[in-house]
């Protein structure tokens, strides 16, 4: 039996389609997530243009419903989620001193499932209309929605959700099993900690979504009666299941951003993160509490004062660990030698913005007040403050910070600062007035409003802000394009980093670490640098390195499900069978073909080590 097959080198497109390297998968996630971010952003712009004056007719009411549904769904599932996975892939194995994730094949599968789910959902625009029941797809609106839009929503999310779930399991196992010698749990960088907790949330939050989507699909495709009161169904079941998933989902999004902010703040304050163990504890506590607050999305349903009060108190409790984090970031900066790089600007901008989103969150957690705020623009303002002002600002900080590690080049700092100021000012201009629009009674998800209700001016300002955010985003893309023509950055450690990902030479070798590093404490790389060492102390001699083989099967499995989804949407069982057959046959091949990977030999590693640039 030939176990360790020779080193398979693929190049060009095939390399990207078959890669199982976490660094390349991270780049794929970043590109795909960036692409969907643009689409979701355009949908937002169309909505803001429609709302910039009263009784505007830029888009029809039906189109507006599709825009708001697709904007929310795209931004949450196909922009924010993949961008988080991009950084988790690019950074977590490096931060813990691992050569890859636990399941490289599954990692590739996770990416392709997400990608084809996103493509499927967005094809709805071209195939008879996008989903129009809101990103929450409440029954019976979603079960009775005409056309096949909601079917695209159900199947697109089902496929990408499976990808997210396997990704979550992968990172849990990677972090538990593959840490370098000396990298104890309480020495893990905070980004790895947040990735760990987020993966745990994914593991327990996504299965309810899977079931909810199955029910919705059965209801629409096979005439089931879960949500049909005429036949004994109950529409509240969907709301519960959706939010049992949906609320942990917002913590899935925000925690890795918290992690990125923690890395950036510590690095650019030239200080160890203040209250590291409190930060870890707060992260775990937020993850835990995140599962017991879902009913605050349903206060106005009428579950009664006892249920509402319990969930209100639980919701307010989350403000405590979050507050711990805010103060720890401030104390990290306190007395630090702060460098206002672009990444640090995003982090500094993040803190007050997120606090504002948190304060409106506590306001919304009060059931009696929520009856007033519910379904108004106040809610829209709140969740954009936490998701754009929290998640996206954190991801931008992470992007500028880790871009050199991912692409071996730094982004232009001047353009980065222009990006920051236009986007940051644009953001507050867009969403701050929306608090007041909501308090003045403007409901969310309306396609227009009448003049003479004092809504004109604030809506106008909001639209101007949206344009500023768009300009900021364009500046970012110009920056990225310019960077591709630049040479490699002069140093592999451009920010004077503290953690292991900066201890690796440029460009990052396929195997990450020629020798697994020995970790001697928190901020492992910083400790070595402070001791006057050039790099990490190795924990093992140079030897053969075992690597996984690339594979096309993850792509084919995902295509199979993509095909099957079309069969379900258009009620053609033959197509469903063909699609499922493609997936199952690929799984069969994966199971029966022996694939033990290959070895990079000691001599090759030694050759690489000679040419190392640090």
Partner 1 sequence: MDAGQRLTDANFPEHPEKATLEGKNKFLGFWLFLGGETVLFATLFGTYLGLRHMNMDGPSTEELFKLPTVFLATMLLLTSSLTSVYAVLALKQNRVRTLQKWFIITLILGLGFLGLEVYEFMEYVHEGHTFTSSAFGSAFYTLVGFHGGHVAFGCLWIITLLIRNWNRGITLVNAPKYYLFALYWHFVDVVWVFIFTVVYLMGKVG
- Using CB under 8 A as the binding rule, whether residue 55 contacts partner 1 is answered as no
Interaction between residue 6 and partner 1 (CB under 8 A): no
Based on CB atoms, which residue is closest to partner 1, 8 or 270? 8
Q: Which run of H or of E encompasses 546?
A: strand 545-547
Of 182, 173, 350, residue with least CA distance to 260: 350
Between 207 and 441, CB nearer to partner 1: 207
Contact pick of 6, 55, 222, 487 for partner 1 (by CB under 8 A): 222
The span from the CA of 93 to the CA of 305, in Å, is 47
In the chain, count of helices (H) and strands (E)?
A: 22, 2
Q: Which of 136, 225, 491, 537 is close enough to bind partner 1 by CB under 8 A?
A: 225
Contact 200, 141 (CB under 8 A): no
**Alpha carbons 370 and 308: distance in angstroms, whole number:** 11
Mask for 242-261, x = binds partner 1 (CB under 8 A): --x-----------------
Query: Residue from 5, 14, 61, 176 that binds partner 1 (CB under 8 A)?
Result: 176
Distances (CA, A) of 312 to 113, 199, 298, 319: 36, 26, 11, 12
Q: Which is nearer to partner 1, 49 or 539 (CB)?
A: 539
The helix/strand/coil state of 41 is helix
Is position 3 an interface residue for partner 1 (rule: CB under 8 A)?
A: yes
How near is the Cβ of 73 to partner 1 at its closest, in Å?
Answer: 21
Closest approach, Cβ 475 to partner 1, in A, equals: 41
d(CA 539, CA 562): 45
Under the criterion CB under 8 A, does residue 601 sit at the interface with partner 1? no
203 binds partner 1, rule: CB under 8 A: yes
Q: How far apart are CA 167 and CA 416, in angstroms?
A: 31
Nearer to partner 1, 213 or 519 (CB): 213
Closest distance of CB 581 from partner 1, Å: 13
Instruction: Report, in Å, the least distance between residue 344 CB and partner 1.
Output: 36
Stretch that binds partner 1, among 78-86, 142-150, 200-208, 492-500 (CB under 8 A): 200-208
Q: Which of 414, 417, 368, 382 is nearest to 397 (CA)?
A: 417
Cα dist from 239 to 67, 138, 209, 212, 246, whole Å: 22, 7, 11, 9, 10
Question: Could you tell me the end-to-end alpha-carbon distance of the chain, in angstroms, rounded to an integer?
Answer: 41
Residue 591 touches partner 1, criterion: CB under 8 A: yes
Binding mask 81-110 for partner 1 (x = CB under 8 A): ---------------------xx-------
Q: How far is CA 113 from the centre of its chain?
A: 15
Please choose, out of 423-431, 442-450, 586-594, 601-609, the segment that lies near partner 1 by the rule CB under 8 A. Answer: 586-594
Q: Pick from 193, 226, 274, 502: which binds partner 1 (CB under 8 A)?
A: 226
232 binds partner 1 (CB under 8 A): yes
In 3-state terms, what secondary structure has residue 547? Answer: strand
Calpha distance 497→503 (Å, rounded): 8
CA atoms of 238 and 243, how far apart (whole Å): 8
Q: Please report how close the Cβ of residue 564 comes to partner 1 at its closest, in angstroms.
A: 15
Q: For partner 1, which stretch binds (CB under 8 A), given 110-118, 216-224, 261-269, 349-357?
A: 216-224
Nearer to partner 1, 44 or 244 (CB): 244
Is residue 19 within 8 A of residue 25, CB to CB? The reply is yes
Q: Which is nearer to partner 1, 137 or 392 (CB)?
A: 137
Quick one: which segment of 168-176, 184-192, 305-313, 472-480 binds partner 1 (CB under 8 A)?
A: 168-176
How many alpha carbons fall within 13 Å on the CB side of residue 89?
Answer: 28
What whole-number distance in Å separates Cα of residue 598 and Cα of residue 580? 31
∠ CA 125-131-135 to the nearest 5 degrees?
125
Task: Tell me how far, at minimum, the Cβ of 546 lies from partner 1, in Å.
Answer: 9
What's the CA gap between 56 and 438, in Å, rounded?
19
Got the DSSP string for 564-612? HHHHHHTT-HHHHHHHHHHHHHHHHHHHHS----EEE-HHHHHHHHHT-
CB 251 within 8 A of CB 391: no
Q: Is 303 in the site for partner 1 (CB under 8 A)?
A: no
Write the binding mask 532 to 571 for partner 1: x where contact by CB under 8 A, - elsewhere. Answer: ----------------------------------------
Separation of alpha carbons 505 and 248, rounded Å? 37
Is residue 241 at the binding interface for partner 1, with CB under 8 A as the rule? yes
Closest to partner 1 by CB, 26 vs 208, is 208
Q: Which of 56, 63, 136, 228 binds partner 1 (CB under 8 A)?
A: 228
Query: Which range binds partner 1 by CB under 8 A, 81-89, 223-231, 470-478, 602-610?
Result: 223-231
Interaction site with partner 1 (CB under 8 A):
1, 3, 102-103, 165, 169-170, 172-173, 176-178, 203-204, 206-208, 210-212, 214-215, 218-219, 222-226, 228, 231-234, 237, 240-241, 244, 588, 591-592, 594, 596
């Amino acid at each position: 039996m030939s176990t360790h097959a020779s080193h398979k080198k693929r190049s060009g497109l095939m390399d990207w389609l078959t890669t199982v390297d976490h660094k390349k998968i991270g780049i794929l996630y970043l590109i795909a997530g960036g692409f969907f971010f643009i689409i979701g952003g355009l949908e937002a712009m169309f909505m803001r243009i429609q709302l910039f004056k009263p009784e505007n007719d830029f888009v029809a009411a039906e189109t507006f419903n599709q825009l708001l549904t697709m904007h929310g769904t795209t931004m949450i599932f196909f922009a924010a989620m993949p961008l988080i996975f991009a950084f988790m892939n690019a950074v977590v194995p490096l931060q813990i001193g691992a050569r890859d994730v636990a399941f490289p094949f599954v990692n590739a599968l996770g990416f392709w499932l997400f990608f084809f789910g996103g493509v499927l959902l967005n094809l709805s625009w071209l195939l008879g209309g996008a989903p129009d029941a809101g990103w929450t797809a409440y029954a019976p609106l979603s079960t009775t929605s005409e056309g096949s839009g909601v079917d695209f929503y159900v199947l697109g999310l089902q496929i990408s959700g499976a990808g997210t779930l396997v990704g979550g399991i992968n990172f849990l196992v990677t972090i538990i099993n593959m840490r370098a010698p000396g990298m104890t749990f309480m020495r893990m960088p905070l980004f790895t900690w947040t990735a760990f907790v987020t993966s745990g949330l994914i593991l327990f939050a996504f299965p309810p979504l899977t079931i909810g989507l199955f029910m919705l699909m059965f209801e629409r495709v096979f005439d089931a009666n879960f949500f049909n009161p005429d036949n004994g169904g109950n529409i509240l079941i969907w709301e519960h299941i959706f939010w049992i998933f949906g609320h942990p989902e917002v913590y899935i999004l925000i925690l890795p951003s918290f992690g990125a902010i923690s890395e950036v703040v510590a690095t650019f304050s030239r200080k160890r993160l203040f209250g590291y163990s409190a930060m870890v504890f707060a992260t775990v506590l937020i993850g835990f509490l995140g599962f017991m607050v879902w009913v605050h999305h349903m206060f106005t349903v009428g579950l009664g004062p006892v249920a509402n009060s319990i969930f209100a108190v639980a919701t307010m409790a989350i403000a405590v660990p979050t507050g711990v984090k805010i103060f720890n970031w401030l104390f990290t900066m306190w007395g630090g030698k702060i460098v206002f790089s672009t990444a640090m600007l995003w982090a500094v901008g993040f803190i007050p913005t997120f606090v504002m989103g948190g304060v409106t969150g506590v306001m919304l957690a009060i059931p009696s007040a929520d009856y007033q705020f519910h379904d108004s623009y106040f809610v829209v303002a709140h969740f954009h403050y936490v998701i754009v002002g929290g998640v996206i600002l954190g991801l931008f900080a992470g992007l500028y910070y880790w871009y050199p590690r991912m692409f071996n080049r730094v982004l232009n700092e001047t353009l980065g600062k222009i990006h920051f100021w236009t986007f940051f000012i644009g953001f507050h201009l867009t969403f701050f007035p929306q608090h007041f629009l909501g308090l003045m009674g403007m409901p969310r998800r309306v396609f227009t409003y009448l003049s003479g209700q004092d809504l004109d001016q604030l809506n106008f300002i909001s639209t101007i802000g949206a344009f500023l955010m768009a300009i900021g985003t364009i500046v970012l893309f110009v920056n990225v394009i310019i960077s591709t023509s630049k040479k490699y950055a002069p140093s592999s450690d451009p920010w004077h980093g503290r953690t292991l990902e900066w201890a690796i030479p440029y460009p990052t070798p396929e195997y990450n670490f020629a020798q697994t590093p020995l970790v001697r404490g928190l901020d492992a790389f910083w400790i070595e640098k402070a001791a006057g060492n050039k790099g990490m102390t190795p924990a093992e001699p140079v030897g053969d390195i075992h690597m996984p083989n690339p594979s096309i099967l993850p792509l084919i499995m995902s295509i199979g499900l993509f095909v099957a989804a079309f069969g379900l949407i258009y009620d053609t069982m033959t197509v469903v069978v063909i699609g499922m057959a493609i997936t199952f046959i690929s799984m069969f091949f994966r199971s029966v073909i022996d694939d033990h990977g290959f070895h990079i030999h000691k001599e090759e590693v030694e050759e690489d080590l000679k040419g190392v640039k640090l």
